[in-house]
Structure 1
Amino acid sequence: MRRTVTALSAVLIAAAGLTACGSGKDSSTESKATPPTAASSAPATTAAPQKPLAEAEARNGIPPKPDANVQAAYVRALDAISPTIVGGKEDRAVSRGRDACGTIHSFPNDHAKQVNLTQQRFSGAHQVTTEQAEKILTAVQTHLCPKH
């Protein structure tokens, strides 16, 4: 998970750097006396990091955040395994599930590694068993990343 966070941070930093580089026009043709207005430069800075982040996540097999219906079905599936998995923290469970999709994408032929990383990812205050990790992985694949 730390690698994912590090990679996503690097993408954000790179996107911010690209945004700061300007429009790519030859500076000799631009007027140096007239700075860009706040209205014209603000949308590029706020919208730019979201697209590269989403693209980086997609390349790494991390799906977009699910809609409310998909999230509810996913949370119900996890609660059926054990109510302690979600523990009232649905956003955290969804985030961990999306990261598990990245694991499935990164290790498509290593089911044991997928299960092991899922067990680690979902263990916290309550330890997840290998059997529960198998079921969590199935719920993740069913609801969050069915293409894998």
Structure 2
Amino acid sequence: MRTHHTAAAMLAAALLALTGCAEGDAAPASTSNEGKERPASAPAASRSVDPDAVRAAVGLPPEPKGAQRQAFLDGLNAIDTDIVHGKDDKAISRGIDTCGIYKRFPGDAATQVEQTRKRWTSPTHPEGRSLATATKILDVAHKNICPDF
């Protein structure tokens, strides 16, 4: 769970850094927009943020697409169909996070496997996976999402 929180904090920090504040905003920020009207000339409230740019800013690979994505999902399903359990996008997100484990713990295979074990939960494995399964998941992520790590 700690890995998940670390990745979420890194992603949030990157999002804040990439979105920034509009120039000329001198008024203090408010947590509520209740009772406030936006002038017609005001900029749009949201900005388009490229998720792959955010991932790159925190040292993670881009989201796999096409054949790369399918190879990753097929690799996980070959280990155990309960790993993906019908939630492809969630598995992709966890795979990208798993690549972050390589970055955070370079050369420390034991910690990489332990962090992966904890990260890959499912309804039938709420406490995570076995070390053997985690090792296989780590290998599939490395080969299919972040081979350059």
What TM-score do you get using the length of structure 1 for normalisation? 0.76
Asked if 2 retains the 8 angstrom alpha-carbon contact of 1:78 and 1:86, the reply is: yes
Tell me if 1:141 matches 2:142.
yes
Instruction: Give the aligned partner of residue 120 of structure 2.
Output: 122
> Aligned-pair distance for 1:105?
0.9
When the two chains are superposed, the root-mean-square deviation of aligned CA atoms in Å is 2.4
Tell me if 1:110 matches 2:111.
no
Match for 1:2 among 5, 10, 13?
A: 5
Instruction: Give structure 1 regions of 4+ aligned residues with deviation exceeding 6 angstroms.
Output: none
Query: Unaligned 5+ residue runs, structure 2?
Result: 26-38
Counting only pairs closer than 5 Å after superposition, residues 1-148 of structure 1 correspond to structure 2 as 1-16=4-19, 18-22=20-24, 37=41, 41-42=43-44, 45-47=46-48, 50-51=49-50, 54-127=52-125, 128-148=129-149
- Distance change in 2, residues 1:59/1:107 (3 Å): farther
Asked if 2 retains the 8 angstrom alpha-carbon contact of 1:19 and 1:45, the reply is: no
Count residues in correspondence.
130
- Distance change in 2, residues 1:126/1:61 (3 Å): farther
Q: Percent identity?
A: 35
> Aligned-pair distance for 1:8?
1.8
Which structure's CA Rg is the greater one?
A: 1
> Aligned-pair distance for 1:141?
0.5
- AA at the equivalent of 1:19: C
Q: CA separation in 1, counterparts of 2:72 and 2:119?
A: 16
- AA at the equivalent of 2:138: L
> Aligned-pair distance for 1:109?
1.3
- Distance change in 2, residues 1:4/1:22 (3 Å): farther
> Aligned-pair distance for 1:13?
3.2
- AA at the equivalent of 1:97: G
What TM-score do you get using the length of structure 2 for normalisation? 0.75
Structure with greater helix percent: 1
